[in-house]
Amino acid sequence: MEEQLVVFQLGDETYGIEISAVHEIIRMQSITKVPRTPEFVEGVINLRGRIVPVIDLHKRFNLPLEEETAHSRIIVVEVKGVTVGMIVDSVSEVLRLPQANIDPPPPAITGGIETEYLRGVGKWEERLIILLDLDKVLEQSEYNALEQHAHDLAAAGKE
């Protein structure tokens, strides 16, 4: 048993997501900022006539922000029928990783990213690949609730 992963960089860390969730990988393009959305939502893009929201994974994981470069990409994923673009610093490769090489997430693996977003850690040629749990990454209930709370506060403040 092995898993096919799309491997990408965020800062100096290497991440992987299962290839089946990946729709396509596109170059950076102009993003329309949408008001009143969480900080990590960069805005929306036009993906061949579809409106697709784009999030910045650095902001999502509270990692230090990186400059946009010629290598920056948007990975368009679809999870549970919701299509979202994720900004990454670069996409390196597609890997086949044997299941045996994947360990459960250790308690505190890196400086930034919280373990709840992790599915595990893969080892490949002496490199560590952080496997993301996309369901959790794209979970909205958490920030929706926060948003709602913020709105309620704002509304209360107005009256």
Partner 1 sequence: MTVDFDISQYLNIFLDEAEEQIQILDETLVLLEQEGENQDLLNKIFRAAHTLKGSSASMGFENMAQLTHAMEGVLDDLRHGELSVTSDIIDHLLQSLDALKELKNNISAGQDNGVDVAPLIANLKNVKNQVAAAAVAETIPSPEVVAGEEPEVITKPAETLSGADLGMDDVEINVAAAAKANGYNVWHAKVTLSHDCLMKGARAYIVFNNIKDLGEVIKTIPPIDEIEEERFEDSFEFVLVTKSGADTLIDTVKSISEIAAVEVQPVNVSLVAQSVSQTAKEDRELKPVAAGAPKGNGAQTQAQPKTSQTVRVDVQRLENLMNLVGELVIDRTRLADVNGGLKAKLGAEELLETLEEVTVHVGRIIGDLQEEIMKARMFPIEQVFNRFPRMVRDLAQKAGKEINFVIEGRETELDRTVIEEIGDPLIHLLRNAIDHGIETPENRVKAGKPSTGTINLRAFHQENQIVITVQDDGKGMDPEVLKAKAIEKGVITADVAARLTDREAVNLIFAPGFSTAATVSDVSGRGVGMDIVRAHIEKINGIVEIDSTPGEGTKFTIKLPLTLAINRSLMVYLGGQVFAFPLANVVEIINVDLNEIQKVQQRDVVLVRGEVLPLFKLSEVLDYPSDNQGSTKLPVVVVGISEKRIGFIVDELMGEQEIVIKSLGEFIGQIPGLAGATIMGDGKVALILDVRGLAGQAGV
Judged by the rule CB under 8 A, the positions of this chain that interact with partner 1 are 30, 32-37, 41, 43-46, 49-53, 81-84, 138, 140, 144, 151, 158
Q: Are 62 and 110 in contact (CB under 8 A)?
A: no
In angstroms, give the least distance from the CB of 141 to partner 1: 11
Quote the least distance from Cβ 62 to partner 1, whole Å.
20
Q: Which structure tokens are listed for 123?
A: 């080892």
Query: Which residue, 99 or 148, is less far from partner 1 as judged by CB?
Result: 148
Closest to 121 measured CA to CA, from 95, 94, 101, 91: 101
Nearest approach, Cβ of residue 81 and partner 1 (Å): 8
For partner 1, give the closer residue by CB, 63 or 84.
84
Cα torsion at 128, 71, 66, 147 (round to 10°)? -90
- Altogether, the residues listed in the chain come to a count of 159
Specify the residue, 7 or 77, whose C-beta has the smaller distance to partner 1.
77
Our CB check for partner 1 shows the closer of 66 and 147 to be 147
Distance CA 154, CA 159 (A): 9
The distance of closest approach from Cβ of residue 25 to partner 1 in the complex, given in angstroms and rounded to an integer, is 19
> Which H helix or E strand runs over 113?
none
Cβ proximity to partner 1, 6 vs 86, nearer residue: 86
Q: How far is CA 49 from the centre of its chain?
A: 23
| Minimum distance, C-beta of residue 75 to partner 1, in the bound complex (Å) | 15
